[in-house]
Amino acid sequence: MSDVTETTDSSTAPDIDETLAAHDDVSVDVAGPEAADAGTSRLDDEGDVAADYIEELLDICDLDGDIDIEVTDGRAYISVNASGDSNLRVLSRTETVAALQELTRLAVQTKTGEFSRLILDVGGSREQRQRELERLVDAAVARLEAGSDAAHLEPMSSYERKLVHDIVAARGFSSESEGEGRDRHTVVRRA
């Protein structure tokens, strides 16, 4: 059975959805100024629906994992972690997490009727992807320092492009997104 922990950056606790109340292994930590905000409440609901979906998936697959829900920067973040010798690593590959994230977003959209921008992390996969993106940016910067005018990165999601823009800015270079749909990618240039 999975454990669910919810963290919201809001000052007063929103009403707890009946779904969470049905779980006897749920703990809710609430802090910050935006609790009464309807957007935060919507994101809390989104996180709750996503956690329920992921918990059912883990149960069906007979995988152990603790689910944490955090609402930050206008997004619900769902983290699935396990301690010790866990079989959760089966789901932690970048491509698998991306597919599960899309399925979870669809489940949330079906239940709430609203588009979801939630971010799913399984077994530290997002941290691993952050390191991969940093290496991609470092390689792009090396190409620029070797004389290239611009370095085009592989197509990636809007969330990953945002991370890349932040990494590029921290390295003192500039970046912009180009292309449409699945071909949208980041281009790195000198500042």
Residue where one domain finishes, among candidates 123, 141, 161: 123
Owning domain of residue 51? 3-123
Tell whether 54 and 115 lie within a shared domain: yes
> What are 67's strand-pairing partners?
4, 80
Tell whether 109 and 133 lie within a shared domain: no
Tell whether 88 and 137 lie within a shared domain: no
User: How many CB atoms sit inside 10 A of residue 127's CB?
Assistant: 10
Tokens of 33: 């100024």
CA atoms within 13 A on the CB side of 90: 11
- The CATH number assigned to the domain holding 180 equals 3.30.1370.50
Q: Name the phi and psi angles at 30, rounded to 5.
A: -125, 130
Element (H, E) at 80: strand 75-81
Tell whether 69 and 138 lie within a shared domain: no
Per-residue pLDDT of the chain (191 residues; tens, 9 = 90+): 455 555 444 333 333 333 333 333 333 344 444 444 666 789 999 999 999 999 999 999 988 889 999 999 889 999 999 877 778 888 888 889 999 999 999 999 999 999 999 999 999 898 999 999 999 999 999 999 999 999 999 999 888 999 999 999 999 999 999 999 999 999 999 99
How much is the pLDDT for 3? Answer: 55
Tell whether 134 and 72 lie within a shared domain: no
Tell whether 11 and 75 lie within a shared domain: yes
pTM of the complete model beyond 0.85: no
Q: Among candidates 176, 166, 106, 102, which has minimal Cα distance to 134?
A: 166
Residue where one domain finishes, among candidates 123, 138, 165: 123
Tell whether 9 and 94 lie within a shared domain: yes
Tell whether 99 and 35 lie within a shared domain: yes
Measured CA to CA, the distance from residue 135 to residue 102 in angstroms comes to 25
Tell whether 82 and 141 lie within a shared domain: no
Domain count, the chain: 2
Tell whether 103 and 34 lie within a shared domain: yes
Tell whether 22 and 105 lie within a shared domain: yes
